[in-house]
Structure 1
Amino acid sequence: MLLRLPVSVSEAQECLTEGAVPIGGATLVWATWQQDGFPDQAMSLRHLPEANVIEREALGAAVVLRQIDDRVPEALRRAASTVGTGAVRRTATVGGNLVGSTLRCLLPAALVLNARGVVLEVDRVHETDLAEVLAKRHLLLGLRWHEPVVSGYRKLDGEAGGPPPFIVAAAVHADGGRHLLRVAVRDGYEVLNDSTVYDIGTGTGTEQILNALQGTTLGTLDASGWDVVRQHVTEVLAGLTGH
């Protein structure tokens, strides 16, 4: 297998044209290839500048999870820190977790940031929503979002061999004189996300916000799931003090 390491977008597009298979950090594809056979050509974006940014409002798809720090919002940083073991986080990438994995531990955090995917195609680079990125398994160059006022992420402990652990993420975004609260959960393999708007000038309380949120798709969670959401949202809203 020939591993190609493009250093420009045009070179990466040339690799795609010639049939190179994107591999991310290879943590998910290696075992499959050992069983089913290796492709003639593979491509890693680890030397592509556009895929390696770490900023307050952008994160490259080739960034390994261990590199994600407080340059990005807390929800995304905490999400990366909970994926697998230290050894996995040293090689697994943002793009591999979001597009190549069935667990997608970063997805709830990306959703509450209202992140958009920067996609590389043979003839163009463009932005699109994450739903399209996942449905069409696009080659992801990175994520972009607008920085929230405050955000958070929580993953419950899981049992070995059991279902994926429950995840909840939340972020508050400034919206003029109002705030927009976005919440996303992973319950098993299902991901739900919704939002509610509230006017900070009216002194809207946490219970009122939670009641509004329970009227969204998140209200379909079972009692234990909703209790985790309630606790997490309460903690995130408490972080608005001083903002």
Structure 2
Amino acid sequence: MLLRLPTSVSEARECLAEGAVPIGGATLVWATWQRDGFPELAMSLRELPEANVVGRRTVGGAVVLHRIDERVPDVLRLAAATVGTGAVRRTATVGGNLVGSALRCLLPAALVLDARATVLEPEGVREADLSEVVAKRPVLLSLRWREPVASAYRKLDGEAGGPPPLAVASAVHAEDDGDRLRVAVRDGYDVFSGSVPRAADVAEVLSGLRGTALGDLPGAAWDAVHSQVTGLLDGLGAR
């Protein structure tokens, strides 16, 4: 297998046009390749500056999870910290988790940040929403979002060998017509999300969330949503 390490977007585009397979951190594909055979040409974005940014409003697709720290909002930092073991987080990338993994541990956090993706194609670079990223699995250059007022994340304990553990993410954003709360939940392999205007009455907010896709969650998942939303909004007080 020939591994290409492009250092510019134009070079990365050329690699894709030549049929290079994006590998991210290779944590998910290595065992498959050992079983089924390695591709002739692969590509890693670890040397591409645009894919390695980390900041309050952006993170690159090639950023390994252990690099996600206090520079990003709490919801994304906490989500990254719960992925696998320390060894996995030193290798697994943002793009690999969102695009290459069925678990998509970072997806709830990205959804509540209302993130937009910058993706790379042989024809060039363009913006895409997260639903397209999940469905079409393009090469992820980076995510961008508006910095939230506050955010939270919790992953519950799971059973060994069982389905992925329940994960709940939430964030409050300041918008022109007032604050808006976004909540996303991974229940098994499915991710549900909803948003409502923030109100002084937490019960009113929770009632509004019941009217979104989150309303169909089972009782245990809804209890986790209730607890997190209450804590997040109480922490903001009268802001």
Q: TM-score range by the shorter chain?
A: over 0.9
Match of 2:203 in 1: 207
Secondary structure of the 1:127 match is strand
Following superposition, the deviation at residue 239 of structure 1 comes to 2.7
> Is 2:235 aligned against 1:239?
yes
- Post-superposition, which runs of at least 4 consecutive aligned residues in structure 1 deviate over 6 A? none
Distance in 1 separating the partners of 2:42 and 2:159: 35
Following superposition, the deviation at residue 241 of structure 1 comes to 3.5
Following superposition, the deviation at residue 238 of structure 1 comes to 2.2
> Is 2:186 aligned against 1:186?
yes
Secondary structure of the 1:239 match is helix
Distance in 2 separating the partners of 1:239 and 1:82: 23
Match of 1:229 in 2: 225
Match of 2:92 in 1: 92
Distance in 1 separating the partners of 2:139 and 2:238: 40
Which residue identity lines up with residue 101 of structure 2 in the other structure? S
Following superposition, the deviation at residue 240 of structure 1 comes to 1.5
Following superposition, the deviation at residue 175 of structure 1 comes to 1.4
Following superposition, the deviation at residue 242 of structure 1 comes to 7.4
Following superposition, the deviation at residue 186 of structure 1 comes to 0.4
**Gapped regions of structure 1 (runs ≥ 5):** none
Which residue identity lines up with residue 42 of structure 1 in the other structure? A
Q: How does 1:3-152 map to 2 (within 5 A)?
A: 3-152=3-152
Over the matched positions of the two proteins, sequence identity in percent amounts to: 67
Select between 169-178 and 111-120 the one with higher mean Cα deviation.
Answer: 169-178
Distance in 2 separating the partners of 1:82 and 1:235: 20
Root-mean-square deviation (CA, aligned residues, Å) is 1.1
Please give the per-residue CA displacement for 1:158-203, whole angstroms capped at 9, x wherever unaligned: 111011100000000111351100000000111000100135xxxx
Which residue identity lines up with residue 137 of structure 2 in the other structure? R
Please give the per-residue CA displacement for 1:7-50, whole angstroms capped at 9, x wherever unaligned: 00000011111111100000000000000100011100000000
Select between 67-76 and 190-199 the one with higher mean Cα deviation.
Answer: 190-199
Distance in 1 separating the partners of 2:157 and 2:215: 22
**What TM-score, normalized by structure 1, do the two folds share?**
0.96
Distance in 2 separating the partners of 1:192 and 1:39: 35
**What TM-score, normalized by structure 2, do the two folds share?**
0.98
